[in-house]
Structure 1
Amino acid sequence: MVRPKKLKSEAKPEENTIKEDLISNLPDPVLCHILSFLPTRSAVATGILSRRWRHVWKDLQVLDIYGRPFMAPAQEAKFIASVDAIFAQRNPLPIKSFRLCCGLTDDESLDMWVQACVGPHLRTLYLDVTLSCLELFLPRDVFTCKSLVSLVLKCEFILDNLPYKVCLPSLKNMELDLTDVDCDNLLSGCPVLRTLNVRLTEPFQNKWVELHRIRMPRTLRRLIFQESRPSHNDIGHLEINTPYLEYLHLKIQSPCLRFVVGKFPKIMEAHLDIFQCVELEHDVDWVAKLLKALCKTKFLALKYCTTQCLFQAAALELPKFHSLLHLELDFLSFNFNFVMNMLHNCHMLQVFALHNRKRYYSHPLEYAGPEPPTGVPNCVTSHLKTFKFRGYEDTTDEHELTAYLLERGLVLETATIHPTSDFELLTKYYILKGLSALPRGSNICQIKFDTLD
């Protein structure tokens, strides 16, 4: 007689007990390592499993504490009490990593927790805190912690109480959301920094802030610098001389009075979103110099403010992009000559994306650069596989460029057109019907239409 198979739910209790015992019999350091991957509250909750687990979490050297971004007073008091209890009950072992995400009105508690973590073994400090107070100062010991490898402050701290000399000799990653900081003092104390992500926000109470000097460490591989201050505040001196840089994202809205840039022989990807006063020529010329320094990048995205600067730069000479594979251009007003000049200088381009934002703005600028060469760009006939156009309005220049790329793009695979949402459905239909009838130089080229913009 064939015996029926045993269902999984019918497993003997002894089997589960054996599995639990195997985990419980592991040494404390191994159990702590396992618990370090859990949120600290979950790790603490394992203390109710059995007598064996009651005190294991107290040896944790990695604390990951999460609370709600906005809490009622009673909830906040309960949260603070629970975190205080964790610090009070844990064994006096050095903390290697501290991560805190919450909302607070009590800045004294935050200062106490951070102070308890700072020590010769702290490697990671991550604070994502929503603050109700206007100013909060971190302990100075944070900026002289020699073991710190990663520092992330996702909250609007005011770092004007930095020590006389910042000393972070092991720091490789730093992400900051700031309203005020002595950048030169802070960055000069990070001799091996590789990743820097800085977001400078608008000062509290319209406080005047002038950044006299921002000099990026030469060791950087990845730089994200986003500045969104009022236009009357100035960046006195911005220096990006980082020969090992691989990724760059710049967003600058305040006038940059002096700009110094080195060469980027290892650059792979660059995003430029730079707004400068186009009424003064010297305020925009440095944008063209920066573009020239990025000539070896493989990915380049220029936002509409940046193209406006390039339109007005005196004697603009576009660099040769011998390695560029992906190019994205935003415009306030599409210009055929500028686009063709870019294509002639991008010899290996495979993906080309345009976005016309004209309908959102009232006073676009005209391109003052030279006429493009008469020949067909090498990338169009040999490399360009993908073409995208968002905000297509079917103007003479836009239609001419689209027809040009479809006819001369010998290896083009897809051309995706997003008509502007201002047009009625019937108007879009006739536009797309006309584009579909254009001759194509590639037998495999497909035209795709998306009416949602």
Structure 2
Amino acid sequence: MDLSGYRDVISSLPEDISCHILSFLSTKEAASTSVLSRKWRYLFAFVPNLDLDDSVYLNPRNKTDISTSFMDFVDRVLALQGNFPLHKFSLKIGDGVDPVRITPWIHNVLDRGVSDLYLHLNLESEFLLPSKVYLSKTLVRLKLRFGLYPTIDVEDVHLPNLKSLYIESTHFEKHGIGLSKLLSGCPMLEDLVLDDISWCIWDFASVSVPTLRKLTFCWEERDEFPKSVLLDTPNLVYLKFTDTVAGKYPKVNFDSLVEAHIDLRLLKPILINYHQGYGENDMVGNATDFMMRICNVKTLYLSANTLQVLTYSCDAIPLFNNLTHLTIESNPKVGWQSVPGLLKNSPNLETLIFQGLIHKATNKCGDVCLCYKPREEILSCLSSSPVKFIEILKFGEISDDMEKQIKYFLETMPNLEKMILYYNTSSVGNVIAVSSRLRRLVSKVPSSKCIVQLISDNLSLSSTVSKDGLLFFKSTSPV
């Protein structure tokens, strides 16, 4: 408001700009502006984005009336907009909304050329998406989340402009065939997210999309494993993959992969009763074919589960010639047996990131840590490591074992230039105490040229130990 002249500056904006501003609000909020003045009365009807969420109507004392009110509101909004072109339609509903009302809403927005369609249908009754969804020529982004009856049944699929597909908590009526058919009808698909898709019950799971650039697959831990998984994505550059190791990988094509986040898990056959031919202590599946195909990556994240897989379910660790950034997640129940092989097979590695240093100590932990071995008996692979930067995340209170590990890195890694430790604390005194302890530690390794820095994001404070052992503090907040 221009208080000097009492002029409403916002209302004087051109209508297309006002509509653009309203497009960032939920549809209910945008509709509430209709009471401001005559000019605003129908302006929200020309907003190109509709964001409809029945939870904003919920009242536990009278759910039926609230659901009816929401459904009537959606009908009025769509009727008021008429055939006005639509860019985005987001619909989030729970049980209580009549499924019969949903299909006409979807048909309405598809007929108006919607490009972004987000459907979160948490219904307690069975509902199949109308076939028109799979035959849209205008859809560019499609996001589907389902409730108790998460079924997708596809017959004909032709989505010529779809670039992004997100499917969560569902199963396909025709199992792997249904997914393959859906993907084959998306010739321009670049970004695919499959979250909680139960392909472990399929005899054969396949993602074969030559145009795909990003793939995210997440299947949380179950007492099952996929039997056969094919991944043919020659142009994929980003992969985030969470799954149990499959029985086999007949084809894996990641020729263009640049960044990968891998969380593979082992499964012992004793947990299941429908697979034969394995000993009680054998691990089901073999991850060799999968791991060998990610060898071109430049940035790699490996969970603690994956370290186990590399130890027990992989015939050999790949040669990572292009790898420059490696992140390793530590877990007190998992050893580092596979870490030496990873470092030896990463000749161009520059940055090594540990999500914690605490791991299971074994006499097979290799030579990247001390564990049970006396220092003089170790000829460490770290002595030939090209790593220049180490980052240690989730760094808590420094212990004697942790101090020895840090000192070991400083002593044995000749190319190390900087080590950063991220300390999660709200106490300045803790930062000062740990920094002083690090200073004493660095002074014991005079041969090291590495700068050690302790950063506390909670305090926006960092301390740096210089090469001459001096201690500096500075704020990490932007000025």
Q: TM-score range by the shorter chain?
A: 0.7 to 0.9
Q: Cα 1:298–1:212, aligned 2, differ >3 Å: closer, same or farther? A: same
Whole-angstrom CA distance in 2 between matches of 1:184 and 1:156: 22
Q: Are 1:11 and 2:7 counterparts?
A: no
Tell me the equivalent position of 1:220.
212
- Mapping 1:265-284, distance limit 5 Å: 265=256, 267-277=257-267, 283-284=284-285
Q: CA deviation at 1:144?
A: 1.1
Match of 2:273 in 1: none
Question: What are the Cα deviations for residues 26-52 of structure 1, in whole angstroms up to 9, with x where unaligned?
Answer: 3x5555444333322233233223333
- The corresponding residue for 1:126 is 118
Which position in structure 2 is the counterpart of 1:114? 106
Segment drifting more, 150-159 vs 177-186: 150-159
- In the superposition, relative to structure 1, how do residues 314 and 293 fare at CA in structure 2: closer, same or farther (>3 Å)? closer
Q: Distance between the aligned counterparts of 1:20 and 1:271, measured in 2? A: 46
What percent identity do the matched residue pairs reach?
21
Determine the structure 2 residue equivalent to 1:405. Answer: 409
Equivalent of residue 43 in structure 1, options 19, 23, 30:
30
Distance 1:321 1:71 in 2: 59
Aligned to 2:50: 63
Shift of 1:448: 4.5
Query: Is the Cα contact below 8 Å between 2:228 and 2:246 reproduced in 1?
Result: no
1:112-160: CA deviations, max 9, x gaps? 322322226121101234x240533211211111210000123347564
Q: Which moved more, 1:272-281 or 1:176-185?
A: 272-281
Question: Aligned equivalents of 1:442 and 1:364: distance in 2?
Answer: 28
* Cα distance in structure 2, aligned partners of 1:86 and 1:50: 18
Q: How many residues align?
A: 416
Q: CA deviation at 1:61?
A: 3.7
CA contact (8 A) 1:67 1:103 kept: yes
1:54 matched to 2:41? The reply is yes
CA distance 1:120–1:219, change in 2 (3 Å): farther
> What does residue 197 of structure 1 align with?
193
Q: Please report how far the alpha carbon of residue 106 of structure 1 lies from its aligned counterpart in structure 2 after TM superposition.
A: 2.1
Q: Output the CA distance in 2 between the equivalents of 1:254 and 1:84.
A: 48
Secondary structure class of the residue paired with 2:111: coil
Describe the SS at the equivalent of 2:266: coil
Q: Mind listing any 5+ residue stretches in structure 1 that lack a counterpart?
A: 1-7, 420-424
| Corresponding residue of 1:90 | 81
Q: Any idea what the Cα deviations from partners look like across 1:298-345, whole Å, max 9, x if unmatched? A: 221111221111111353233234332232243455656532222222
Q: What's the Cα RMSD here?
A: 4.1
Report the CA distance shift for 1:95/1:192 in structure 2 as closer, same or farther (over 3 A): same
1:184 corresponds in structure 2 to 180
Aligned mates of 2:187, 2:362 — CA distance in 1: 43
Question: Aligned partners of 1:435 and 1:385: how far apart in 2?
Answer: 16
**Structure 2 partner of 1:4:** none
Q: 1:294 & 1:149 partners in 2: Cα distance?
A: 29
1:339 is matched with 339
1:384 aligns with one of 386, 389, 405: 389
Contact 1:230/1:254 (<8 A) preserved? no
SS in 1 for 2:187: coil
- Checking the alignment, whether the CA contact within 8 Å between 2:169 and 2:195 is kept in structure 1 is yes
SS in 2 for 1:136: coil
Residues 396-446 of structure 1, C-alpha deviation per residue, up to 9 Å, x if partnerless?
A: 8x7775433111334332253889xxxxx9xx99xx789667525434532
Residue 414 (structure 1) aligns with: 419
Note closer, same or farther for the CA distance 1:391–1:317 as it changes in structure 2 (3 Å cut).
Answer: farther
With over 3 angstroms needed to count, the CA separation of the structure-2 counterparts of 1:52 and 1:344, relative to structure 1, is same
| SS of aligned partner of 2:92 | strand
Deviations 1:5-62 (A, max 9, x none): xxx986123xx15x46632xx3x55554443333222332332233333333333442
What letter is aligned with 2:95?
L
Q: Residues 275, 391 of structure 1: CA spacing in aligned structure 2 closer, same or farther, 3 A cutoff?
A: farther
Q: Of 145, 163, 166, which aligns to 1:175?
A: 166
Distance in 1 between the 2:123 and 2:150 partners?
Answer: 17
Q: How far apart are 1:163 and its partner, in Å?
A: 3.2
How many angstroms does 1:187 deviate by? 1.2
Which residue in 2 is equivalent to 1:5? none
SS at match of 1:152: strand
Is residue 445 of structure 2 the alignment partner of residue 439 of structure 1? yes
| Aligned counterpart in structure 2 of residue 146 of structure 1, from 129, 134, 137 | 137
Equivalent residue runs for 1:149-168 within 5 Å: 149-156=140-147, 160-168=151-159
For 2:427, the equivalent position in structure 1 comes to: none
CA contact 2:310–2:338 (8 Å) conserved in 1: no
Amino acid at match of 2:108: A
SS at match of 1:379: coil
TM-score (norm 1): 0.76
**TM-superposed deviation, 1:65:** 2.0
Which position in structure 2 is the counterpart of 1:3?
none
* Whole-angstrom CA distance in 2 between matches of 1:236 and 1:323: 30
TM-score with structure 2 length normalisation? 0.73
Report Cα offsets for 1:77-110 as digits up to 9, x if no partner: 3222222221233323343320123433224233
Q: Give the Cα–Cα distance (whole angstroms) in 1 for the partners of residues 162 and 38 of structure 2.
A: 40
Q: Does the C-alpha gap of structure 1 residues 97 and 10 become closer, same or farther in structure 2, counting only changes over 3 Å?
A: closer
CA deviation profile, 1:170-210 (whole Å, cap 9, x unmatched): 1001111132122111111111111111112579xxxx942
